Amino acid sequence: MTQILAIIKPIGLPYLEDILADLDNFGERLIEKNVKNVPESLIRAHYACDGNLPWVEAMIQDLKNKDFYFTIYEGSQKDFLELKVQIREKYSDKIETIKDYQRNVIHISESESEFNATVPIWEKYLKQQVK
């Protein structure tokens, strides 16, 4: 069992309860937080490892200053990665492509190292929001 970061993106929020129910079937929800008006700087920090890919800038512009739902689960990484594909197919199929960027409803950490690199970026932001 490992910890998994699952972030419901703005276009997934209308399906939030259904997506969380799907995730809950595969692990224990440890942390959850509705994150309002996420700044561009956080989106850039989160996707910094993808910075040279052609779709990144379009994605950042699409996601900046919008709401997200931040969760951490404990479960099987393999199961959650398979579930990510299912959730994206189930809820993202009617969402258009913007400048070679296929919009989707969820981000799930791909590995323990990605989790360890990404969570501190969000934790710092969330702590700032509480003050």
Domains of the chain: 2-130 (3.30.70.141)
Half-sphere exposure of 108 (CA within 13 A, CB side): 25
pTM: 0.88
The string of DSSP letters for 37-84 reads: EE-HHHHHHHTGGGTTSTTHHHHHHHHTTEEEEEEEEEE-HHHHHHHH
Q: Which two tokens stand for residue 118?
A: 């990404």
Q: What is the pLDDT of residue 131?
A: 46
The overall average pLDDT reported for the chain is: 88
Over residues 29-44, the pLDDT tens digits come to 999 999 999 999 999 9
Below-70 pLDDT ranges, the chain: 51, 93-102, 129-131
Task: Let me know: does 125 contact 7? Beta carbons within 8 Å.
Answer: no
Classify 121 as helix, strand or coil: helix
Q: What is the pLDDT of residue 100?
A: 58
